[in-house]
Amino acid sequence: MDANNIVTAFITAADQYSMNQSENNLKLLQRHLELLVCLTSEETNLIFLQQQSLLSSQCITHVINVFLDGSRKQSLIPRALSVLQNLLKNSTLFKNLQTTFHVHSALSTFLQHYGVSTKDPIVLQSMLVLEIITYNIKIDYIENHFENLINVLINLMDAENPQFVKISLHILSNLCEDIAKLLLEKYVSDGNISFEPSVNLFLMIIETIVSLGPSLTGFHEILSRLLESNSALHCFSYALTSSNSELVNRSLSLIAQIGDNYSLKALSESLCMRNLNMLKSISQYSDSGDLFSSCDRVPAAKKLHLSANKVSEKTIDALLSRIENGLQIKDLKSSEIMDLYEHKIAMLTLKEQELQSYVDAKTAALQEADRILIQYKCRQADIDAESLKLRSMMKDYERRCEQAAAQLSSAEQKQRKVEADLIEAYQKIRELEQNSNEQRELMQTQLNRLSEQKRNTEEEKTRLSELIVSKDQEKKLLMNQLQQSEEELRMKDKAYDELIEIKEELLKTLEETKKSAEKAKLNSEQKQQHLQKLIDSAQQAIAVLKENNETLNNEMIKRTEEFTHQISDLENQKEQLTKQLKSRDSKIEDLNENLKNLNELLNERNSLLQETKTSLTNLKGTLEQTESQKTKLQQDKKILELLCKKYEGTIEEKDTQLQTLTDELKSLRKEYEESVNDKDSQIKNLQEELAKHEYITGMIHNLTSGKLSIPK
């Protein structure tokens, strides 16, 4: 399952559905959402979405747009929620969804428009996603959807299903800390309209924490962290000195419940300071006699809450009402009345000048913000162009890596061929050794056979010699017989004739025996010559076999030497190839490290751009508020112009304030210019790294193409 193809198909289907919301497009989008759910269910596939690329950001934005769609199809929302649940398992995707894509705001608006029902599984699933996404959330400023979300969660506290109560408590505990910090900052004062609701919210937060008690994880740490701040003391002192009895009762009951966790000494000091400030602000106008007689009807608790500006306004309003009604002012001097008028007019002129300077500063800030927006758009276009260049470079790098991989595979194939040739050479050497062994065995068998023939000839020779000896013995016997016969002939003269005949016969027999003995001698000599010839031929064959054996041994030695030379050459080539492969692997690793560094720099750049976006949205909100205040102030100005036509003047304090404001503006401008310079330096660093990357890719291209000499 290819992640790139699935994500691109889902983006195209979402674009088609946004252009034409038909049933076929809805079914297609639903099918691709199911494939996306299957894709994100495996953690290995989340690496593709973890990369901050254009495809991953478009995919996540289309998933979030499902909740913001006005039609709100029931079949798409559960699948989108399951995709978000799978994405939240990864830590980097969790941070991106929380900070960059603001999934909590989309889900809160969806719940506001969809409606909350404890029997609906979609609501339960969305609440579970909210519980995960709001963990360790950083709230920069309070938006409208936070108020709506808190109202929904407070309503769910009374639900019958305990699971909804548990989830809503978890979400409230995730939101309480940062919202309390925003509501209880130092700039909040008694004169602000939002201070009393913030005090109510602060008391409500502490009441919920105290009611939860030890069941909440980190109960004592959260409570001590909230109560140790100066803003908590300020809220408690305001509630205790308030004219609202409910606030007083709630604050006293909370102090009684907290007990040892809260220091009453610091609270008493803050109450004393608050009462002293109230008395000082009221005592400034205590010398004006009966002017406070109209204010005596006000209760004492309300008098403590009046600031210096409110007291002066009420006294002057009382004087104006008396003058308009035609009453005679006998109890005050005219100089005092004129002083009051002058004080009031001076205050109004100061307010007018302050508002005018504030309006001028806001217009200048608006112009500066417009200029920053234009610069930001230009820089964003440049960044997009650079990102396109980087993508093209990445494609070239991947293509070259593929070429290098192909070359490596070809080198491996060559190495395999060389190894196969080596194996064949070893096999041939073994065959030659086997042939030499067979020839040796044949020679040995021939030698054995010749030795047997020699042995047989020797046996025949001994047998013939024995026959010759036996014939000689017979001859000796015959000679002895002849001698005996001669003696008998000598002795027997009578039978002389017979003996002569016998003698002749014996002579004939002797001649025959001599002839046969000579023939036997000739035959034996011929046999001996034949045996001698056989022995000579056998010795010649043995010499020839020895010569053949020596020639075979010499050829074997020569071939083994040639094979050893070939093996050594192949091993040297193999070592050179391994060295080249190692050098290429090291260069590829260096390139991968450079690419990782570039990706990290791009991520930092994207985070800086997101911070500038948030600051611009904050500036827009403040500008809208200043415009509304400007309209109100213009109306007040028209009313005050009737009283301020005859009196004009300037005050040194206002000049100092203006000077401080101009200094602050200059410092802000310097900070902005420094931030711009930092960003320019970062861009220059990125360009230098891109140049280095291009140089490295060129070196790789030259290495792969064979233009440069490969180090051995």
Helix axes 121-133, 162-183, angle to 10 degrees: 40
Determine the pLDDT at residue 518. Answer: 75
pLDDT tens track for 479-516: 777 677 667 656 756 655 665 676 677 677 767 777 77
Asked if residues 144 and 103 have their Cβ atoms less than 8 Å apart, the reply is: no
Asked if residues 166 and 153 have their Cβ atoms less than 8 Å apart, the reply is: no
Which residues are within 8 A (CB) of 254 and not within 5 positions of it... i.e. 6 or more apart?
Answer: 203, 206, 207, 210
CB atoms within 10 A of CB 17: 25
Q: Alpha-carbon distance 238 to 361, whole Å? A: 33
Determine the pLDDT at residue 20. Answer: 84
Long-range contacts of 88-94 (CB under 8 A, 24+ apart): 88/129, 88/132, 88/133, 89/43, 89/46, 90/43, 90/46, 90/49, 90/50, 92/50, 93/46, 93/49, 93/50, 94/132, 94/133
The DSSP 8-state label assigned to residue 135 in this structure reads T
C-alpha of 615 from chain center: 28
Q: Alpha-carbon distance 69 to 65, whole Å? A: 6
Asked if residues 226 and 206 have their Cβ atoms less than 8 Å apart, the reply is: yes
The angle subtended at Cα 637 by Cα 636 and Cα 641, nearest 5°, is 125
Place of tokens 């010749």: 450
Which residues in the chain show pLDDT less than 50? 186-188, 285-312, 324, 326-332, 647, 708-712
Instruction: Report CA-CA distances (Å) from 505 to 3, 508, 515, 519, 532.
Output: 129, 5, 15, 21, 40
Q: Alpha-carbon distance 499 to 489, whole Å? A: 7
Whether the model pTM is above 0.75: no
